């Protein structure tokens, strides 16, 4: 028995040992391998992260802010107020952000592992992302180095760079950089801008409650806006104050007093941002042309000499205030002035960036007419019919549905006839139009490949600056430059950005012919509002409409030898304005101001590439091609027009050298003789009948291009009846031609024509 018992005990021990071994294996599989994998992954991440690096030039340290100067060397205010130094940050402001955003900020080395683990558990429990774990350092990295995509790789990169930044900068430096770049809503980047906008204070003047408010906004600038959602903002502010108290940054009495403080938003200061905008756009141009980020620029110490003319800028600012729509519509505006070298002398806008809008008819000279003149497809005098057309379902109307009939290209430009613009584009070709637009500095997209280009439709629209650059090229004989806010920059003893590109957009003749038509548009065309000016300008207006027919954009582009002015008015909700209305009046006031501050000649210079020719308008329309006048052309049909010296009229008039015989038709029905013929405006017509009773005048008429019908009852008596149509030139009655036809006529019919 004892031996059997011992055997049983041995068997049980063996089973326990096997069970323990199995449990050890299961435990290893469940925990050991994942832990080992995690350790390997952590080691691998540590090795990878150690190789990661950051770009100091992307961080908002602003150690060598550039200086900007106007055209006369006067320094301009560089309003890059987002940047703050560590010394500028009040402790209470710093602690408000730490308490709410990153309570272990002073302890971690860029990322908070404890917080990440807690957030992961909460997110797993909720089965969705309910809590993030980014530290202040990580948020700085995200705002300066990375995109905002939510991917694992981006998050790991963010952590790796955050660790490197923690090694290179102090906590106070990191906090200052973070506060310089975060977004507070309402266009405010950085705590300086937010403090000024929301409270009208510098950051050193903020109260404890205001510091807590700024920290409260960051999580959702729109949702916790003190302007739009004051109640939500106050609730989150008070929560921030509680956290500051709980974490020992303020005492209970301070928290209580801060909670009792009213949440008051400062009234927006009414001040012009035009000077700020010019410098901001000049900064953007410098960054683009030198391949710098704005942070790199603000550490560059460059001296940047702009083309800003203070007198011109003051005029734009003044006239912007005067450009209100008297219909009471809320209309925004942009105005830009370029000199003859496409340098920006002044720029005003209701926007803090360069807008893109539909250009309407202001694009026609650049997309259609100047290219067509350049290619010698048409001249100013080319006859064309303004009529309803249909190109594959594309059938544009003119303003008010009016079509002008027989006209010429110059009149079509002056009165902005849409069907003529489409016809000329058809002659030119859409692909050619796109090429010319690119040369003018307006880049069409792949979608811009239809006849809609003839009406100024571009899928991405055009900026006022781009449009001004195109018209400046017309003012400069077809030579285009990219508009620039910068004359040059200085880096130590080295000059940068001294020149911009120059390219031939159209021939000198093409530009000159376009300018002649656009000067006529000012005299008595769509840009007539500028005709009050005491000097010569060329101009084109344009209007773009919404799908419901209401106008959304009104433009005018005008230029002379001194400068180019473009004015845009717009309203996405719809407006009554057209380019020839308020925008043109706005532009006229700007030009008048420029006349007072600039040396401007009264007349625009002419080009040797074009030549004046007296044409015969009557013959031109009659023959559907341009015909030069001769010595016999009456004065009323003579018109002096300019032509490309390489594209002069090929035909000379002969219409008034001799009379041409006119044809007429004879028909007899019910015993009556019917005679019909077409008249021309340069002739007088006399119709005679000779029958048994002798020769008699049936009708004398003169007038233009009308059908004439005469019913006659001759006395033929079965013999010959003769009809004569005598046509004489009105201007030279001695020159005439006769057409004669005869019939055998009886009372109830005729035998035959003779």
- Report the distance separating Cα 654 and Cα 632, nearest Å: 8
Secondary structure E strands in 53-207: 67-69, 75-76
Give pLDDT, residue 706: 87
Q: CA 633, 638, 641 angle in degrees (round to 5)?
A: 135
> Residue 130's pLDDT is what?
41
pLDDT of 331 above 90: no
Buried b (16+ CB within 10 A) or exposed e, 240-251: bbbbbbeeebbe
Q: Which whole-number Å values give the CA distances from 514 to 236, 365, 381, 540, 610, in the listed order?
A: 62, 7, 12, 10, 11
Count Cβ neighbours within 10 Å for each residue of 34-73 and write b for 16 or more, e otherwise: eeeeeeeeeeeeeeebeeeebeeebbbbbeeebebbbbee
pLDDT tens, 111-149?
877 766 655 566 555 554 444 568 988 888 888 776 555
Give percent of the chain with pLDDT exceeding 90: 62
Q: Give me the pLDDT at residue 8, please.
A: 54
CA distances from 90 to 205, 207, 211, 247, 267 (A): 9, 10, 9, 17, 24
Residue written as tokens 């010569």? 536
Give the integer Cα–Cα distance in Å for 459 and 445: 7
Q: If you average pLDDT over residues 49-63, what whole number do you get?
A: 67
pLDDT at res. 224: 93
Confidence of residue 18 (pLDDT cuts 50, 70, 90): low
Instruction: Count Cβ atoms below 10 Å from residue 203 Cβ, excluding itself.
Output: 21
d(CA 531, CA 523) in angstroms, rounded, equals: 6
Average pLDDT over residues 325-330: 64
pLDDT digit string, tens, across residues 397-436: 877 778 888 999 999 999 999 999 999 999 999 999 999 9
* Amino acid 678: pLDDT: 93
- For residue 96, count other CB atoms closer than 10 A to its CB: 28
Task: Give pLDDT, residue 2.
Answer: 47
Query: In which residue are the tokens 């190109």 written?
Result: 391
DSSP 125: H
Q: Cα torsion for 442, 443, 446, 447, to the nearest 10°?
A: -30
Q: Which fold has domain 316-597?
A: Beta-lactamase (3.40.710)
Which one has a higher pLDDT value, 393 or 645? 645
> How confident is the model over 154-161, as a mean pLDDT?
81
Q: What is the dihedral of CA 637, 638, 643, 645, to 10 degrees?
A: 130
pLDDT (0 to 100) of residue 7: 47
pLDDT for the residue 328: 62
Question: What pLDDT score was predicted for residue 288?
Answer: 92
**679 or 183, which is more confident?**
679
In terms of Cα–Cα distance, which of 560, 381, 548, 564 is closest to 467? 564
Say whether pLDDT at 39 is over 50.
no
More confident residue, 720 or 424: 424
pLDDT(744) > 70: yes
What are the pLDDT digits (tens) for 259-284? 999 999 987 654 444 567 899 899 99
Q: Is the pTM higher than 0.85?
A: no
Mean pLDDT (the chain, rounded): 86
User: For residues 350 and 268, which has the higher predicted lDDT (pLDDT)?
Assistant: 350
- Of the candidate CATH numbers 3.40.50.300, 3.40.190.290, 1.10.472.10, 1.10.3810.10, the domain formed by 82-260 belongs to 1.10.3810.10
Report the pLDDT value the prediction gives residue 156, as an integer from 0 to 100: 80
Model pLDDT, residue 290: 93
**What would the pLDDT profile of 371-388 be if each residue is shown by its tens digit?**
999 999 999 999 999 999
- Checking if the pLDDT of 640 tops 80, the result is yes
Q: What share of the chain has pLDDT > 70, as a percent?
A: 85
Distance CA 322, CA 226 (A): 32
* Higher-confidence position of 56 and 207: 207
Each as own residue / partner, the long-range contacts of residues 231-238 (CB below 8 Å, 24 or more positions apart, any chain) are: 233/263, 234/263, 237/209, 237/212, 237/213, 237/263, 238/212
CA dihedral angle for residue 688, residue 689, residue 692, residue 693, rounded to 10 degrees: -50
235, two tokens: 């609730």
pLDDT of residue 34: 44
pLDDT at 46 > cutoff 80: no
- Among 103-112, 279-288, 400-409, 745-754, the range scoring the smallest mean pLDDT is 745-754
Q: Can you tell me the mean pLDDT for 83-99? A: 92
The predicted structure's pLDDT at residue 751: 47
What are 500-552's pLDDT values in tens digits?
789 999 999 999 999 999 999 999 999 999 999 999 999 999 999 988 889 99
Domain covering 665-753, topology: Immunoglobulin-like (2.60.40)
Q: Report the pLDDT value the prediction gives residue 133, as an integer from 0 to 100.
A: 62
Among 185-194, 312-321, 626-635, which range has the highest average pLDDT? 626-635
User: Active-site positions?
Assistant: 101, 361
- Tens of pLDDT, residue by residue over 214-243, are 999 998 888 899 988 999 999 999 999 999
Range with the poorest average pLDDT among 54-68, 504-518, 609-623: 54-68
Residue 231 is predicted with a pLDDT of 94
Please report which confidence band the pLDDT of residue 697 belongs to, taking 50, 70 and 90 as the band edges: very high
pLDDT value of residue 552:
92
Q: Compute CA distances 399 → 106, 304, 396, whole Å.
A: 68, 46, 10
* pLDDT in the model for residue 620: 95
**What is the separation, in whole angstroms, between the first and last Cα of the chain?**
158
456 pLDDT higher than 60: yes
Nearest-Å Rg of the Cα atoms of the chain is: 41
pLDDT of residue 79: 58
pLDDT for residue 47 is more than 50: no
The residue-averaged pLDDT of 306-323 equals: 88
Does residue 750 carry a pLDDT above 80?
no
Give 52's pLDDT tier (boundaries 50, 70, 90). low
């Amino acid at each position: 028995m004892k031996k059997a018992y011992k055997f049983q005990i041995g068997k049980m021990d063996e089973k326990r040992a096997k069970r323990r071994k199995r449990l050890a294996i299961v435990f290893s599989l469940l925990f050991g391998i994942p832990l080992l994998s995690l350790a390997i992954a952590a080691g691998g991440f540590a090795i990878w992260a150690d190789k990661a690096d950051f770009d100091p030039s992307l961080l908002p340290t602003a150690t060598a802010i550039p200086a900007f100067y106007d055209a006369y060397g006067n320094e301009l205010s560089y309003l890059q107020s987002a940047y703050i130094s560590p010394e500028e940050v009040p402790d209470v402001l710093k602690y408000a952000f730490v308490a709410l955003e990153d309570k272990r900020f002073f302890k971690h080395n860029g990322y908070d592992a404890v917080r990440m683990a807690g957030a992961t558990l909460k997110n797993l429990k909720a089965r969705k992302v309910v809590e993030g774990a980014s530290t202040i350092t990580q948020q700085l990295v995200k705002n300066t180095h990375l995109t905002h995509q939510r991917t694992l790789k981006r998050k790991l990169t963010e952590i790796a760079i955050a660790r490197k930044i923690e090694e290179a900068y102090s906590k106070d430096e990191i906090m200052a950089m973070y506060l310089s770049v975060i977004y507070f809503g309402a266009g405010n980047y950085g705590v300086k801008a937010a403090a000024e906008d929301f409270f009208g204070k510098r950051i050193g003047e903020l109260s404890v409650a205001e510091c807590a408010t700024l920290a409260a906004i960051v999580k959702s600038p729109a949702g916790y806006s003190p302007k739009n959602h004051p109640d939500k903002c106050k609730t989150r502010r008070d929560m921030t104050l509680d956290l500051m108290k709980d974490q020992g940054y303020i005492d209970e009495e301070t928290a209580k007093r801060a909670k009792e403080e009213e949440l008051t938003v400062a009234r927006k200061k009414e001040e012009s941002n035009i000077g700020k905008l010019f410098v901001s756009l000049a900064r953007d141009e410098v960054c683009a042309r030198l391949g710098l980020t704005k942070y790199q620029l603000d550490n560059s110490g460059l001296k940047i000499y702009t083309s800003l003319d203070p007198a011109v800028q003051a005029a734009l600012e003044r006239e912007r205030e005067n450009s209100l729509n008297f219909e009471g519509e809320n209309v925004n505006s942009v105005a830009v002035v370029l000199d003859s070298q496409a340098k920006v002398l002044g720029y005003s806008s209701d926007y803090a960036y360069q807008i893109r809008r539909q250009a309407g008819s202001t694009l026609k000279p650049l997309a259609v007419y100047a290219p067509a003149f350049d290619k010698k497809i048409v001249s100013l005098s080319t006859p064309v019919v303004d009529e309803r057309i249909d190109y594959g379902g594309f059938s544009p109307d003119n303003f008010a549905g009016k079509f002008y009939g027989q006209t010429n290209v110059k009149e079509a430009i002056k009165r902005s006839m849409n069907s003529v613009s489409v016809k000329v584009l058809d002659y030119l070709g859409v692909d050619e139009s796109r090429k010319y637009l690119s040369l003018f500095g307006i880049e069409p997209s792949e979608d811009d490949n239809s006849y809609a280009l003839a009406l100024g439709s571009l899928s991405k629209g055009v900026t006022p600056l781009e449009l001004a650059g195109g018209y400046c090229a017309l003012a400069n004989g077809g030579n285009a430059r990219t508009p620039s806010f910068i004359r040059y920059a200085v880096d130590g003893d080295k000059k940068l950005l001294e020149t911009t590109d120059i390219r031939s957009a159209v021939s000198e003749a093409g530009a000159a012919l376009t300018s002649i038509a656009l000067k006529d548009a000012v005299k008595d065309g769509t840009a007539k509002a500028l005709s009050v000016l005491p000097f010569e300008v060329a101009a084109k207006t344009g209007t773009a409409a919404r799908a419901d027919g209401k106008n959304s954009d009104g433009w005018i582009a005008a230029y002379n030898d001194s400068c180019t002015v473009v004015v845009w008015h717009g309203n996405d909700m719809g407006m009554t304005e057209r380019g020839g209305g308020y925008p043109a009046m706005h532009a006229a006031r700007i030009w008048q101001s420029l006349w007072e501050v600039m040396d401007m000649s009264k007349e625009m210079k002419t080009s040797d590439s074009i030549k004046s020719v007296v044409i015969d308008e009557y013959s031109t329309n009659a023959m559907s091609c341009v015909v030069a006048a001769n010595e016999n052309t009456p004065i009323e049909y003579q018109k002096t027009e300019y032509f490309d010296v390489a594209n002069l009229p090929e035909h000379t008039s002969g219409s008034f050298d001799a009379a041409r015989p006119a044809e007429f038709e004879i028909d007899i029905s019910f015993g009556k003789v019917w005679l019909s013929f077409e008249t021309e405006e340069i002739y007088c017509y006399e119709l005679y009948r000779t029958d048994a009773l002798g020769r008699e005048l049936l009708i004398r008429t003169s007038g233009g291009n009308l059908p004439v019908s005469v019913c006659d009852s001759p006395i033929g008596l079965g013999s010959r009846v003769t009809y004569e149509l005598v046509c004489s030139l009105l201007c030279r009655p001695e020159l005439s031609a006769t057409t004669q036809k005869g019939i055998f006529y009886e009372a109830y019919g005729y035998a035959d024509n003779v």
